[in-house]
Amino acid sequence: MKYTQLGRTGLKVSRLVLGTMNFGPLTDEADSHVIMNAALDAGINFFDTANVYGRGRNKGRTESIIGNWFAKGGERRDKVVLATKVYGDMGADEAAWPNHDKLSALNIRRAVDASLKRLQTDYIDVYQFHHIDRDTPFEEIWQAVDVLVQQGKILYVGSSNFPGYKIAQANEIATRRGTLGLVSEQCLYNLYERRAEMEVIPAAQEYGVGIIPWSPLHGGALGGVLRKQVEGGRRDEGRAAGGMSGPDVRAKIQAYEDLLDKHGLEPGEAALAWLLTRPGVTGPIVGPRTAEQLESAVRATELELNEELLAGLDEIFPGPGPSPEAFAW
């Protein structure tokens, strides 16, 4: 497994991030533990979760599964760079309840303590804001973060789903306060969806923020969905079902699969390998439901995509180009 530094930190993380959102809803606890063991064996040390993972009335279940895995010992916690998130409503009745969601200082304090309890650890390596909070000023957010860092409950802070201007705003205010600021940003980014290249990724690079793409296979659309349909696999591949509704989209995906067949590559592995070639990317989040899916993702880290293939991928899925030219009429 290849390693890199997370943004402008000294933290060494694997080029793949183990996403855990399927743990609980789709993968039971025993199989989730098997996947985490396999991830460590493969050299993956960066695990990502969120306090709301588990869905519905089971929010927090995913963190609890990870915590139970840590409790098995074997230096599991020491080997993992652990990232979780705060923002979503954690009210038990699933109805919005004041101060049980978003990024107020009060909710951040409550959410950290609850996550630590479920995760059965005394610190979180990367604590991430799951969404922007339009109601809470960054001065308040950073003040709450400073306290948690001083208490040793969190080490670094990241963001998720932030636009470029919010990355800039957050880090400018952090700089004025004399604190480190954001070190990572999780954003939707893959071959099919490249709008992050316009402002999010340039902003992240400018501020030394590592990019951690989520949905690297665009909900399954880049994972060989058409081939699987022909072979009699599942017809709906996650978000791929909705994303494949138009004939132009289907034509693009067919051209993509045909190109990779020509080069003898698996579509899902090539899509991950492409992300690893992109400037500013720390590592894509993979969310395996099975150990076999994890093995496929690991193989992607060893792929070398030649210039002819990269040019072909750009032709099928052209990026928007840099800003402000990308906004030109």
For the chain, list the domains and their CATH numbers.
3-220+266-306 (3.20.20.100)
Q: Is the pTM for the entire model greater than 0.85?
A: yes
Q: What is the pLDDT of residues 44-58, one digit of tens each?
A: 999 999 999 998 889
Cα separation, 274 vs 280, whole angstroms: 13
Enumerate the active-site residues: 53
Pairing, β 3-5 against β 210-214: unpaired
SS3 label, residue 129: strand
> Closest Cα partner for 295 from 37, 63, 29?
37
Q: What is the pLDDT of residue 242?
A: 47
Cα separation, 161 vs 180, whole angstroms: 20
pLDDT beneath 70, residues of the chain: 92-96, 233-245, 329
Q: What is the pLDDT of residue 94?
A: 59
Q: What is the pLDDT of residue 325?
A: 84
Which structure tokens are listed for 50?
């969120």
Burial of 315 (0-12, 13-18, 19+ CB in 10 A): exposed
Q: What is the pLDDT of residue 237?
A: 46
SS3 label, residue 15: coil
Q: For residue 246, give the DSSP letter.
A: S
Cis before 324? omega within 30 = yes
Q: What is the pLDDT of residue 328?
A: 72
